[in-house]
Structure 1
Amino acid sequence: MVVRLFKLLPLLLLLINNAPQAEVIRLASSNYYPHYGEQLAEQGAAIEIIRQAFALQGVQLEIDFLPFARALYESQQGNYSGLVAAWYSEQRTAHFYYSQPLYANQIVLFKRKTDTIRYQNFQDLARQQQRLGVVQGYMQPMGLIESGIKTIQVATDEQALAMLALQRVDLVPADLLNGLYLLEHKMPQHQQQLEWLTPALEQRPMYLVLSKKDPANEQRIERFNLGLQQLKASGQYQQIIDSLLPQY
Structure 2
Amino acid sequence: MGEAMASWKYALMLVISLSFCAGAARAGAIVLGATEYPPYMSPRLPGGGLAVAIVSEAFQRAGLQTKIVYLPWSRAMSEAGSGQLDGIIGLWETAERKQRFLFSKPFLDNHIGLFKRSGDAIRYQRLSDLKPYTIGTVRGYANPEAFEQARLKTDETLSDASNLAKLAARHIDLALIDHGVANYLLRGNLAALAEKLEWLPPAVVTYPMRLGIARNQAEGEKRIQAFNRGLDAMQRDGTLEKMLKPLGI
TM score, norm. by length of structure 2: 0.70
Structure 2 letter corresponding to 1:226: R
Matching residue of 2:80:
75
8 Å contact 1:23–1:58 — kept in the other structure?
A: no
Secondary structure of the 1:158 match is: helix
Structure 1 letter corresponding to 2:132: Q
Task: Show CA shifts across 1:209-248 (max 9, x none).
Answer: 2233534323321222223224434x2xx23541574164
Query: Is 2:34 the counterpart of 1:29?
Result: yes
8 Å contact 2:35–2:72 — kept in the other structure?
A: yes
Matching residue of 2:213:
210
Shift of 1:102: 0.7
Shift of 1:33: 3.5
Secondary structure of the 1:34 match is: coil
Shift of 1:79: 4.1
Secondary structure of the 2:137 match is: strand
Q: Structure 1: any 5+ residue segments left out of the alignment? A: 1-20
Matching residue of 2:174:
171
Structure 1 letter corresponding to 2:220: N
8 Å contact 2:183–2:247 — kept in the other structure?
A: no
Query: Is 2:134 the counterpart of 1:130?
Result: yes
Given candidates 175, 187, 191, the residue that maps to 2:190 is: 187
Matching residue of 1:99:
104
Secondary structure of the 1:214 match is: coil
8 Å contact 1:30–1:66 — kept in the other structure?
A: yes
Shift of 1:139: 6.3
Aligned in 2, Cα 1:64/1:162: closer, same or farther, shift over 3 Å?
A: farther
Matching residue of 1:84:
89
Shift of 1:67: 4.5
8 Å contact 2:235–2:241 — kept in the other structure?
A: no
* Count, aligned residues: 223
Matching residue of 2:45:
40
Matching residue of 2:65:
60
Shift of 1:73: 4.7
CA RMSD of aligned residues (A): 3.4
8 Å contact 1:69–1:137 — kept in the other structure?
A: no
